[in-house]
Amino acid sequence: MLLAAGSCSPRKPLPAATTQPVATAQDLPGLRNFAWVTPFLARGGQPNPTGIAQLQQRGIKTVIDLRGGGHHDDVLPGMKSVQIPTNISKPEMKQVVQFLKLVRDPVNRPVFIHDDIGGDRVGLYVAAYRMVEQGWSQHDAVVELNRFGFNNYWVTVPDFLYHLDAASVRRELSSTAPTSTAPASQGSAGASAPISSSVR
C-alpha cells in the first residue's frame, strides 16, 4: 500500500492533548531525543560512537536506521544494524510493516529506531506502532509525534496516519512470519528497498 505524497505546505498545529502515556525525550551522551517507547522499543536521533555505547549499555540488540542508503551505523559486538531507507515525503506502508515485523520478533529485541534527529521519520514509525500494536487512536499517536520535534511541514505524515487501517495491518502481521534480518542488497533513500542488515 503506497500513500501518495501530498503538498508539503505548512498546516495548522497538530493536536496537543492526549490521555495516553506518551514517551518523554532525553538527551544522552552522543545520542539526542532518546526515549523508551516500550521495554523493548526505543527511539532517538543519530547516535555517534558514544551514543552507540549508550545503546549497548541499555541492552539494545538491533539498531534500525531510517536514513538514506549512504549511511551506516557502526554497531558494537552483540548488536546488529538494519536499514529501512525512508522518504518522509512519500511514506510506504510496506516499509512500516517491515519495521513492525522486526519489533515483533523477540530475537531482535530490544530495538532502537532512528533517523537524523529522531523526530520526523522516527515519529511516523513509532506512531504507526502505537496504533497497530497498542491500539492508540490516530489523534493520540499524532499528539506524541509532536512531542519529539516533528516538523509540521511534512503533512504527508499525519495524513498517512489518518489513513492507516490498523486492523488490516494487524491481520497482515498475524498471517506472516517474522522478518529475517539476513543481509540483503541496500536500496537508495525513498525507494522501495529490501531490508539491509549487518551483524557485529
pLDDT in tens, 29-83: 999 999 999 999 999 999 999 999 999 999 999 999 999 877 889 999 999 999 9
**C-alpha count within 13 angstroms, C-beta hemisphere, residue 9:** 1
Per-chain mean pLDDT for the chain = 86
Residue 17 domain-assigned (yes or no): no
Q: Is 132 buried (19+), middle (13-18) or exposed (0-12) by CB count in 10 A?
A: buried
Q: What is the CATH number of the domain that holds 113?
A: 3.90.190.10
- Quote the CA–CA distance of 158 and 155 in Å, as a whole number: 6
Query: Could you give phi then psi for residue 35, rounded to 5 degrees?
Result: -160, 150
Residue 8 domain-assigned (yes or no): no
Query: Could you give phi then psi for residue 129, rounded to 5 degrees?
Result: -60, -45
Residue 130 domain-assigned (yes or no): yes
pLDDT at res. 122: 98
Residue 16 domain-assigned (yes or no): no
pLDDT above 70 (res 181): no
Q: How many domains does the chain have?
A: 1
pLDDT mean over 110-115:
98
Residue 86 domain-assigned (yes or no): yes
pLDDT at res. 13: 53
Residue 21 domain-assigned (yes or no): no
Which range of residues forms the domain containing residue 71?
Answer: 26-199
- Per the CB < 8 A criterion, the answer to whether 69 and 83 are in contact is yes
pLDDT at res. 9: 46
Residue 9 domain-assigned (yes or no): no
In this structure, the dihedral spanned by the alpha carbons of residues 135, 139, 141 and 147, taken in order and rounded to 10 degrees, is: -150
pLDDT above 70 (res 189): no
